[in-house]
Structure 1
Amino acid sequence: MRRHWAINGRFLTQKVTGVQRYAREIVEALDRRIAAGDPLTRGLDVELLVPAGAATTLHLTAIRPRVVGPARGPLASGHLWEQFSLPRGLEGGLISLGNGGPLLHRRQIACIHDVSTRSFPQSYSVPFRLLQRVMVPAIGRAAAMISTVSHHSAGELTERGLCAADKLLVAPNGHEHTRHWHPQHTPATRAVAGPGTIVLLGSPAPHKNMDLLLGIADRLAAQDLQLAIVGNVDGRVLRNGGDRATGENIHWLGRLSDDALAALLQDSLCLAFPSFVEGFGLPLLEAMAIGCPVVTSDTASMPEVCGPAALYASPGNPDAWMDRFARLRREEGLRERMIAAGHKRTQRFSWHVSAGLYLEAMAALDGLAEARWGAGKAGGIAHRILV
């Protein structure tokens, strides 16, 4: 029996953020499992369908890229390509990994990473928010199965009525990609890294809560602590939080390569992650994987990701953040214990395992006996998970 599946390659036309990183790593992990002859890939034929001009920079040996759609015009890219050009190239099932997918293709596993446009709408532009308000419930109804990246997100999807609980799959982010990072400073990161440096990732979007740390910059300076802020904002999606704050202990580094970020994290006090909401929070996992302590919010998915390996504070309590930073500096051996705990925690999250969950889901939709399903609960919300 030949089984035909395709992967929605629209993510290859987008800037790489957490969603696109997830898509790239899941596809490459699927490719490795297919090439290795995983039993669930028997008779399985998988293609990566991409728009014309997409940069297929993935390392693939078993999954074949194929261009679909016109080379130019309104149907050559973006949402219109996804809704109208992509379905014409389909045979069999489809995996869509980037918060959307063609609404008319029912035999589809679509990944919805979070519902932040609903829980924190002020972070997003009006056009993007309106699009997601239509797209998420529509794909939640249309797709045969909805995957997401955390039990927190699964609970949000069901509680808001965006997806039926009995077709949810939790397939988290993994950490293995950090093994290919080679920490190497740039002049800018070398100048700011040190035992008194707090690294802050993300953007000025309100849900990232950057203002909490910028608001205590003077208090941090009094304790010889400085902020190294990494990342840019996409104005087409996120609303900018305003002008950049300035201060002798505030350093805006912009976007960094993975290697430069790894060097900065390893040589700094900690990663600070004060978000109000996150679907998963991949930077937390990356920091722990490369040996950087984490101080993070005690809300949303963050405790699910970090478990006992992080220090927690309320995203609305600046005094608590000052206390956690001070504790990390003064408590002997705490940083080393957190690094060890972080390494251990990351082993719970694997691209290889999550790719296996997608293979199980594909097999289940193909009606194969090897697909074993069981009922489970996440945060008190019943949904289907693979066992």
Structure 2
Amino acid sequence: MRKLRIKLEGTIMARRWAINGRFLSQPTTGVQRYARETVRALDCWIAEQTLLARGLEVELLVPPGAESLELKAIEIRQVGRLGGHAWEQVALAARPKGTGLLSLCNTGPIAARKQIVCIHDANVWNAPQSYSLAFRGLYRVLLPAVGRAAWSVSTVSSYSLEEMIRHKIAPAGRLFLAPNGHEHALRWKPEHSAETRLAASRDTIVMIGSAAPHKNAGFILDMADRLGRAGLRIAIVGMSDPRVFRSGRSRAEAANVHWLGRIPDSQLAALLRDSMCLAFPSLTEGFGLPALEAMAIGCPVVVSDRASLPEICGGAALFAPPDNPDAWFDSFMRLHGSPDLRLEMIGKGRARASRFSWRRTALRYLEAMAAADGVRAAAGRELELT
């Protein structure tokens, strides 16, 4: 195939892409956090006019009622009158011909062929008990339809990539890794509320998530009395969305359990900083962002030894099987009884978290977008068009 080289100093034909901004109309969970931070990092690369951003024009397309996002180089534009999946399948599908589409939150228009979509996990197959019948049924049809139609599919861990292949969500040759980053947690300014100040202590185990069964929160709550007798407390952050999740159990009534609900990032940072550790006993995770956030802030983590968590946490966490309460209790007591171990885990955690960068993840998307356009970086200061 003949190759045409174009010097960067010369004129480069504009490459047009749109970003699926539906996430700005949704509550912020780990998936929406991923989209926000990836778009921010992309915006920085484009504003800096890095090699792969030369000639790249990007719009963030949002539905009615979407929140704003402060960006420097990416324009935000509202399109359509619908919301939800209908907005994705109709308004985004009607974008100008030839415009690529980046969808970062599992779904996108099935009709879009020049689309890069991030599918974070296969939990509707691996943890069906955590989702309503309607949600599970829709996503078991929608995810493979989008994954097979898209130009390429990203996911957040090697574990998730293997699950994409196992469940035939996307062909192996079109999958690539684009993990979560940690930098956003460093921007959180720790600030206690009266409730988090009361809950935080060197005797406190923090849990973040929902009552979805695969989060396995009930496993730790069942240990509340035993932990209380050892002088330990539990602080629970977050809640489930009843439209998606089915609750795994009712709230524990133990005196050493603090239910904090949803709290701002600043309060979460203060709670993690001033508590003994984060407990993350999930049965399955596509990535496990709360563990990375805790490590970045300087909070030791005790995590499940399943799914993506060993891959993400490496040697910077204490691991325990999510069905072995004695192993979890022993890990908690080791941290509680050894300030030196706690300091060691904080240092390891911060070093591990620094390996995951939104900047590097955004660069992976720039590379994928360039490849979809038939453009790749060549040696020196040139682009190669094929």
User: Shorter-chain-normalised TM-score: which range?
Assistant: over 0.9
Aligned to 1:188: 195
Q: What SS does the aligned partner of 1:232 have?
A: coil
1:262 to 269, 272, 286: 269
For 1:208-233, what per-residue CA distance to the aligned partner results, in whole angstroms no more than 9, with x for missing partners? 00111111111101100010001011
Judging changes above 3 Å, is the alpha-carbon distance between structure 1 residues 371 and 254 closer, same or farther for their aligned structure 2 residues? farther
Corresponding position of 1:66: 77
SS in 2 for 1:333: helix
Asked whether the equivalents of residues 288 and 339 of structure 1 are also in contact (C-alpha less than 8 Å), the reply is yes
Shift of 1:368: 1.1
Q: Secondary structure at the match of 1:271?
A: strand
Deviations 1:238-282 (A, max 9, x none): 111232111111110111110101111111100000000011011
Identity %: 57
Secondary structure of 2:27's match? Answer: coil
Residue of structure 2 aligned with 1:236, choices 234, 243, 257: 243
Residues 64-92 of structure 1: CA deviation (Å, up to 9, x unaligned): 0111112xxxxx10101100111112441
Do residues 87 (structure 1) and 93 (structure 2) align?
A: yes
Deviations 1:12-62 (A, max 9, x none): 110000000000000010000000111001110000011122122x12010
What is the Cα deviation at residue 371 of structure 1? 7.3
Please give the alpha-carbon distance, in whole angstroms, between the structure 1 residues aligned to 2:14 and 2:236.
Answer: 50
Residues in 1 aligned to 2:65 and 2:214: alpha-carbon distance in whole angstroms: 34
Q: Please, which runs of 5 or more residues in structure 1 have no aligned partner?
A: 71-75, 373-387
Structure 2 CA distance for aligned equivalents of residues 339 and 215 of structure 1: 27
What RMSD, in angstroms, separates the aligned Cα atoms of the two structures?
1.1
1:66 partner amino acid: R
> Are 1:43 and 2:55 counterparts?
yes
**2:218 and 2:249 in contact (8 A); partners too:** no
Preserved contact between residue 298 and residue 314 of structure 1 (Cα < 8 Å): yes
The count of corresponding residues between Structure 1 and Structure 2 is 366
**1:52 & 1:200 partners in 2: Cα distance?**
34
* Match of residue 198 from structure 1: 205
What is the SS of the residue equivalent to 1:12?
helix
- Distance in 1 between residues matched to 2:224 and 2:278, nearest whole Å: 15
Aligned position for 1:351: 358
The TM-score normalised by the length of structure 1 is: 0.93
- Shift >6 Å, 4+ stretches: none
Extract unaligned runs of 5+ from structure 2: 1-12, 380-386
Return the alpha-carbon distance in structure 2 between the equivalents of residues 344 and 98 of structure 1: 28
SS at match of 2:49: coil
User: What CA distance in whole angstroms lies between the structure 2 residues aligned with 1:212 and 1:116?
Assistant: 19
Q: Distance in 2 between matches of 1:117 and 1:161?
A: 13
Instruction: Report the equivalent of 2:295.
Output: 288
1:111·1:148 contact (CA, 8 Å) conserved in 2? yes
Within 5 Å, give how 1:1-387 maps onto structure 2: 1-56=13-68, 58-70=69-81, 76-91=82-97, 92-370=99-377
Q: Which amino acid aligns with 2:15?
A: R
User: In structure 2, how many angstroms separate the alpha carbons of the residues matched to 1:194 and 1:36?
Assistant: 43
Letter matched to residue 63 of structure 1 = I
